[in-house]
Amino acid sequence: MAVLKVLVIDDEPGIRSGVSRILGTFHVSYPFMDEDFTFEVAAAASGEEGIEMIADDKPDILLLDNKLPGMQGVDVLEKIREKKYNIAVAMITSYASLDVAIRATRDGATDFIPKPFTPQELKSSIENITKQLYLKKVTNKLNEEGKKIRYQFLSVLSHELKAPLNALEGYLRMMKEKQAGDRIEDYANHIDRSLQRIQGMRNLIMDLLDFTKIRLEKKEDKIQKIDLARVAEGAIVTVQPYAIQMDVSVNLEVRNDSVIMADPEDMDIIFNNLISNAVKYNRSGGRVNITIESTGNEIILEFADTGIGISENEKDDIFREFMRVKNERTKNISGSGLGLSIVKKVVELYHGEIKVESTPDVGTIFRVKMPKN
Amino acid sequence: MKKSDYTILVADDDPDYLFQTIFNLEKAGYKTVRAESQAEAELIISGFRPDLAIFDLMMESDDSGFILCYRIKKLYPDVPVILATGVSRETGMSFSLDSEKEKSWIRADRYLEKGIRADQLDQEIMKLLKL
């Protein structure tokens, strides 16, 4: 429940008390709003008094009579504009000439209420203004979040793409200037590290490509019957060279039916990301166990590893874009921070859910549930 | 005093950048101490006063470098600090230490783009150490 402050400026006492009475019990609710709005009404009998109340109380909505004893309604509007107050203004006027209407609109009035008005007319005007205020609030919030995501995106790109370039440049310069010796062998470590940084950058670029490919809707024409066992096997083959290097064994168990209606590309994204994570954040000699099981109309995937685990407070964040758990154990593991956010988006596209259970230094289980069709 | 009388603390979570910076500083003649994280750097400065410090901006958190600047200046107000980072122009997040206003909240003596040449870095250090 949110309260909007309404100020009515009118020299007729009947209008002031009428507005208070009508709006005092009024509330606005719409299915698309996440809260109801009620109204708190204050009143002023002149423009001068009104201006003071605006400065003190900062109302959200102003109902303004144009014909006032001292300063006129349009003068009040001008003051509001000068001071850059953020108020939605409706003009109450019995003789709304075109001239007044134009001036008032130019100075920021958003609505006109004819005088005398019925309770219903007042309510529908207030309803309109409330809707506009609500939408404005939502838009502002979205803009801010948009900016924040854009900033994160740029800072990650900048950091994650420039850092390897800086590293490569540094090593090449050392080689060019023969800083570590005259023989190529003197630079074996430099070359190894350079190749590793290139690989890291390649992974980031692949994730970025996946990220831009995700659609807001499933591509219905690509939906087909696919066997997730095959998808899993494909992903295991892809990760195998890396798993051998890390000394991690990857096992697949298909308990029963593993067929789902889905876009194969989407399923690849889920398996590739979760399996490569399970290998990447594992320990030497560790295991990755993948199980596929169906119950009724649901398919349940489990990706269990014997790796470094995720602490309780890190769990909330791991599905966020560009989030990377940074600690002693992850410092030498490269990643874009996009993989899990991509997986979550895809799973949700299929009205499924993804959950994580983890014990630090023991292992992590990612569990995905999706309807079969 | 000569360069080998000075110990420089370098904190960076990028192992390659850390390796290269340390390599260049030692080649130039300085003694070095390395930290691979903000936490490690904090531990080091709690018991040791370096003659100069070079901090990466983004480590465990996006403002690790700022925090380290603040901490070290509180412990040792006279130790010159260089803040090094790869992010600036791309994010629209650029700052220099030219204006008094920026100096008041960024407690570093120099702000340097990563990827500067070893001899440039050495010159900046010599200026700060008044060599």
The answer to whether the beta carbons of residues A8 and A45 sit under 8 Å apart is no
Asked if the Cβ–Cβ distance from B20 to A170 is below 8 Å, we say yes
Specify the pLDDT at position B106. 58
Give A103-146 pLDDT, tens digit per residue.
666 666 777 777 778 888 888 888 888 887 877 777 777 666 66
Q: Which residue has the higher pLDDT, A102 or A272?
A: A272
Helix, strand, or coil here: B79? Answer: coil
Residue A366 pLDDT greater than 50, yes or no: yes
Tokens of A265: 């590309």
Percent pLDDT > 90 in chain A is 37
Q: Work out the average pLDDT over A272-297.
A: 93
CA distance A255 to A257: 7
- CATH hierarchy code of domain A2-142: 3.40.50.2300
Residue A373 pLDDT greater than 50, yes or no: yes
CA atoms within 13 A on the CB side of A332: 8
Specify the pLDDT at position A33. 66
In the block, tokens 């402050």 appear at A5
Residues constituting chain B: 131
Residues of A in contact with B86 (CB under 8 A): 158-159, 162-163, 166
Residue B70 pLDDT greater than 70, yes or no: yes
Q: Work out the average pLDDT over A304-322.
A: 84
The answer to whether the beta carbons of residues B98 and B110 sit under 8 Å apart is no
Residues of A in contact with B36 (CB under 8 A): 331
**Closest to B10 in 3D by CA, of B31, A42, B27:** B31
The answer to whether the beta carbons of residues A16 and A10 sit under 8 Å apart is yes
Number of domains in chain B: 1
Q: Work out the average pLDDT over A348-362.
A: 92
Nearest to B86 among A162, A328, A332 (CB): A162
**Is A217-373 assigned to CATH 3.30.565.10?**
yes
CA distance A173 to B85: 19
Domain extent for B27: 3-128
Specify the pLDDT at position B91. 42
What sign for the dihedral angle of Cα A340, A346, A347, A348? positive
Residue A293 pLDDT greater than 90, yes or no: yes
CA distance A41 to A57: 11
Give A166-203 pLDDT, tens digit per residue.
889 889 988 998 988 999 999 999 999 999 888 888 87
Asked if the Cβ–Cβ distance from A155 to B114 is below 8 Å, we say no
Q: Rg of chain B's alpha carbons, rounded to an integer?
A: 14
Tokens of B103: 């100096």
Residue ranges of domains in chain A: 2-142, 217-373
Exposed/middle/buried for A204, CB within 10 Å: 0-12, 13-18, 19+? buried
Say which residues have a Cβ less than 8 Å from residue A206's Cβ, sequence separation at least 6.
none
DSSP H or E run through A220: none
Q: Which chain A residue has its CA at the smallest distance from B64's CA?
A: A326
Kindly state whether B113 is in contact with chain A, defined as any CB-CB distance less than 8 angstroms: no
Phi, psi of A354 (to 5 degrees): -125, 135
The answer to whether the beta carbons of residues B16 and B24 sit under 8 Å apart is no
Specify the pLDDT at position A86. 82
Q: Work out the average pLDDT over A342-346.
A: 88
Q: Which chain A residue has its CA at the smallest distance from B60's CA?
A: A326
Q: Rg of chain A's alpha carbons, rounded to an integer?
A: 31
Give B77-123 pLDDT, tens digit per residue.
999 999 887 655 444 444 445 555 455 555 678 888 777 788 889 99
Give the pTM: 0.52
Percent pLDDT > 70 in chain A is 84
Tokens of A94: 């019995």
Q: Which of residues 16-35 of B touch A (CB under 8 A)?
A: 16-17, 19-20, 23, 27
Residues of B in contact with A151 (CB under 8 A): 91-93
Neighbours of B29 (CB within 10 A): 12
Specify the pLDDT at position A41. 94
CA distance A304 to B99: 53
Q: Work out the average pLDDT over A156-163.
A: 72
Give A224-251 pLDDT, tens digit per residue.
999 999 999 999 988 888 888 889 999 9
Chain A: closest CA distance from residue B65 (Å): 14
Compute the mean pLDDT over every residue in chain A, rounded to the nearest whole number. 84
Supply the CATH number for residue B46's domain: 3.40.50.2300
Specify the pLDDT at position A70. 87
Asked if the Cβ–Cβ distance from B86 to A166 is below 8 Å, we say yes
Helix, strand, or coil here: A12? Answer: coil
The answer to whether the beta carbons of residues A7 and A62 sit under 8 Å apart is yes
Q: Which residues of A touch B (CB under 8 A)?
A: 151, 154-155, 157-159, 162-163, 165-167, 169-171, 173-174, 179-180, 193, 197, 326-328, 331-332
The answer to whether the beta carbons of residues B9 and B69 sit under 8 Å apart is no
Q: How confident is the model at residue A356 (pLDDT cuts 50, 70, 90)?
A: very high
Asked if the Cβ–Cβ distance from B20 to A154 is below 8 Å, we say no
